[in-house]
Structure 1
Amino acid sequence: MSLTALAKEILKHAQTLDAYIEENGLPEPSFDSSGPLDFPIVASTKTAKLLESRTALMELNKELSDLAAGPTHAVATAALIPQFECMALRAVNGFRIPEAVPITGSATFSEIAASTGVSEEIVTRIIRHATTMRIFSESDGNVSHNAASRALLENSLLRDYVTTALNTGFRVASNFQEAVAKYGTVDEPTQTAFNVAFGTDESFYQFIQRDEEKERMKALSGFMGFMVQQGDTGGRTHSPEHLLDAFDWAGIGNALVVDVGGSLGEVSALIAAQHNNLRFIVQDLAPIIALAEPHSQIAFEVHNFLTPQPPTSADADVFLLRHIMHDHSDKHAATILRNITLVMKPTAKILIVDFIPSADAPNVVRKAKGTGDMFMMALLAGKERERTDWERLLQNADTRLRIMKFTETAGSAFGVVEVGFANE
């Protein structure tokens, strides 16, 4: 496709979005200080078709930019620029620079330096680079907020997301090659880039239990909260509400659902609110279960899914594994499935909810999947899987297991793999 043809496609999708924004009285997308902090069209099943234009706009813009740069310089740019953007953003967030700028008006570099305790020269250079990323506005040495810096100031979950991505993710990413040289494989959560980067023999989840790592744990909680509540992948929402339509909950009758690694039961409660005939057992580790609130349809149970399922699971009609499997290598993911099949009755189903974009998904969506895959591999020895990966994993876990159905819900970044025993 020629540059002109690409530009025409971009214009077509931009006009589609602009028309909807204008017709519905929504604010125009802008990085101005008074602009909306999120894209004004909210991702949902109702707007999924419309937001395909948003995904296409992001996809085509990136393609046009890369073509304008040319293949050589597209590679060179990818090698150098992102990590120093990360360096600047980490400094902005870590030095709490947004808090040093008044929400209205402006602050000088010297005033920001005095407020943050960072030298004026460093503050100046960091902020000026941040403005090229559309974070802050600066004119003649006076710094003011724009929409992006306001988001960092006002959204604590975003700050936690940035903290985890850069204080942990950035560090492990730069040690991946060294980890492969040291360990050779990516099977064990104690033999990863995280272990090399942080000089520990503990897994990431063991490491953050340390008293001195409370801030890292807190940031991780916020990171996960941001992903669930505000995550957005090419216009596709991360909300768990897609699960309501991705499986025939009404069709299983008065059933028992075991929510494996279900945290505080938020997803089970979401489903229960629409299906009062369903009963749930939410399983997780003791410190998490201790924080759970009572619910009339939910029982909470202490269980480590890397050990065999307890007898209480033998009556389950559905085992729900939401965002569990990608944390684990094939070796340990097979163990999780095997522990279920040991007690699973012939008619029961396993629902695996993970990031499973189709092969023809836009590159912006597949890149998000690939980013998650790199992060999981470097941090946990985990893995984002495609259909052939799931088929191979099921066979390694239990030869009776089969994929019954793949479901991608419109507007959602995540899909559902429905698994059952063969010939049942």
Structure 2
Amino acid sequence: MDSSSDSLDHNSGVGKHHAQFEIGGLLIELCVSFWKSRSLFVAAKLDLAVHLLDGSKSVEVLAELVGANKESLFRLMRALSTIDIFEQVSPRVFANTPISHHLAVNRDIHAVIVSEGNDNNYRLWESFCDTVKSGKTNSVERVFGVPTMWMAMQADPKYEEDFKKSMTALTNFKVPHLAGLYDYSKFDTVVDIGGSEGILMAELLRRYPNIKKGINFDTPTVISNNKRRGLRHSDDERYHDVGGDFFEHVPEADCFVLKQILHDWNDQCCRDILQCLYRSLRPYGQICIYDSIVERESPVYGQACWVDLHMMQLIDGKERSEAEWRDLAESAGFKVDKLIANELVVLTKKHSLQ
């Protein structure tokens, strides 16, 4: 009997078992990752990191400050400390780490976490299996009893407020980069479709003095709320706020900008929006669409794929590949003129609307 052969077989079996154990552990870790995301959300909602900006504190002091149970709070912070969110510097005493400090001082990131991690978003994913099986989502109706997310937000002011803060935060984060991806100096009139508070339009006017007129276009409710809240991000006389419906009519322009608008809608709705823009786009004008281009070679391919699932589940929207952008453009009377950095699609008119 060859003892060395037996030993090799044994070692091989142990190694295979260990590999399977690691794979199993990884799968379980992925499955329970929501424990971590929910814990991060609670830490952000309670603003624990802000209370540690002036130094470490005991759980007892923190519990008093945020109105929490001291034992539950200790267990939360202990768990978060294992992933470098907070540090337990002595028994039951915690301090900020670089990560939790960032959560405290970067209020844009804080706003995104509070919005994306809220209870409603978890409830909206409960029917995801049904969506995958049927190809249709009814998550909003199941959770809120209304057909669209926009109606749900109107019925829940706090939900809407958190969402808008999150969108503003993401815009603040991305606008300097996005505004520099394309040269808008050749356009006389630029309209930002679904521009919300007008942050992107303000940046475009600041960067491109050749633009003669910049219009921030959104629903009449959004525009009136901006005025009521005193939200105007530009004192430039070229800047204008206009309310309307991008399915019906938009102001005439040389360039329309859509930042993360079309991924909210299915193909038919996008076609209707683009055809509406077609009617108001001047000859030789362009449409600049800031949305993901889902291609495997993209450095943000993984992120785009996951955002696509979120769009599918919540609002019947989607992220699109290059081929899908080209098909959509063609169906609405446009052609793809440029694809830039996997996040900007530039359209021009074909000779006639098909």
Shared fold by TM > 0.5?
Answer: yes
Supply the distance in 2 between the matched residues of 1:304 and 1:353 (Cα, whole angstroms): 20
Supply the distance in 1 between the matched residues of 2:47 and 2:276 (Cα, whole angstroms): 46
**Is residue 104 from structure 1 mapped to residue 32 from structure 2 by the alignment?**
no
Matching residue of 2:288: 351
- Contact 1:321–1:352 at 8 Å: present in 2 too? yes
SS in 1 for 2:340: strand
Tell me by how many angstroms 1:367 deviates. 1.8
Supply the distance in 2 between the matched residues of 1:90 and 1:170 (Cα, whole angstroms): 12
- Structure 2: which 5+ runs fail to align? 1-18
- Contact 2:181–2:340 at 8 Å: present in 1 too? no
**Is residue 176 from structure 1 mapped to residue 128 from structure 2 by the alignment?**
yes
Matched to 1:224, the amino acid is M
Structure 1 pair 275–146 and aligned structure 2 pair: CA distance change class (3 A):
closer
Matching residue of 1:394: 329
Matched to 1:98, the amino acid is A
Q: Which one has the largest radius of gyration?
A: 2
Matching residue of 1:160: 111
Task: Name the % identity.
Answer: 19
Considering Cα pairs closer than 8 Å and 6+ residues apart, tell me whether 1 or 2 has the greater RCO.
1
Matching residue of 2:249: 308
Supply the distance in 2 between the matched residues of 1:91 and 1:251 (Cα, whole angstroms): 47
Matched to 2:240, the amino acid is A
- Contact 2:87–2:97 at 8 Å: present in 1 too? yes
- Contact 1:327–1:383 at 8 Å: present in 2 too? yes
Structure 1 pair 122–332 and aligned structure 2 pair: CA distance change class (3 A):
same
Supply the distance in 2 between the matched residues of 1:95 and 1:270 (Cα, whole angstroms): 33
Structure 1 pair 379–273 and aligned structure 2 pair: CA distance change class (3 A):
same
* Residues 161-310 of structure 1 aligned to structure 2 (within 5 Å): 161-167=112-118, 168-179=120-131, 184-186=134-136, 191-196=137-142, 198-210=143-155, 213-230=156-173, 238-247=174-183, 249-252=184-187, 255-278=188-211, 279-290=213-224, 291=227, 293=232, 295-309=236-250
Supply the distance in 1 between the matched residues of 2:323 and 2:21 (Cα, whole angstroms): 35
SS in 2 for 1:264: coil
Matched to 1:75, the amino acid is L
Matching residue of 1:64: none
- Contact 2:193–2:246 at 8 Å: present in 1 too? yes
- Structure 1: which 5+ runs fail to align? 1-66, 231-237, 409-413
Tell me by how many angstroms 1:134 deviates. 0.9
Structure 1 pair 366–405 and aligned structure 2 pair: CA distance change class (3 A):
same
Tell me by how many angstroms 1:257 deviates. 1.9
Supply the distance in 1 between the matched residues of 2:195 and 2:241 (Cα, whole angstroms): 9
- Contact 1:407–1:416 at 8 Å: present in 2 too? yes
Matching residue of 2:343: 415
- Contact 2:249–2:276 at 8 Å: present in 1 too? yes
Matched to 1:288, the amino acid is V
Structure 1 pair 422–273 and aligned structure 2 pair: CA distance change class (3 A):
same
Work out which of the residue numbers 74, 77, 84 in structure 2 matches 1:134: 84
Supply the distance in 1 between the matched residues of 2:72 and 2:27 (Cα, whole angstroms): 29
Work out which of the residue numbers 332, 336, 355 in structure 1 matches 2:273: 336
Supply the distance in 1 between the matched residues of 2:50 and 2:28 (Cα, whole angstroms): 34
**Is residue 383 from structure 1 mapped to residue 318 from structure 2 by the alignment?**
yes
Corresponding pairs, count: 324
Matched to 1:404, the amino acid is D
Tell me by how many angstroms 1:229 deviates. 2.8
**Is residue 403 from structure 1 mapped to residue 309 from structure 2 by the alignment?**
no
SS in 1 for 2:345: strand
- Contact 2:248–2:276 at 8 Å: present in 1 too? yes
Q: Deviations over 1:149-169 (max 9, x none)?
A: 223333333332111111143
Matched to 1:195, the amino acid is E
The TM-score, its normalising length taken from structure 2, stands at 0.81
Tell me by how many angstroms 1:206 deviates. 1.6
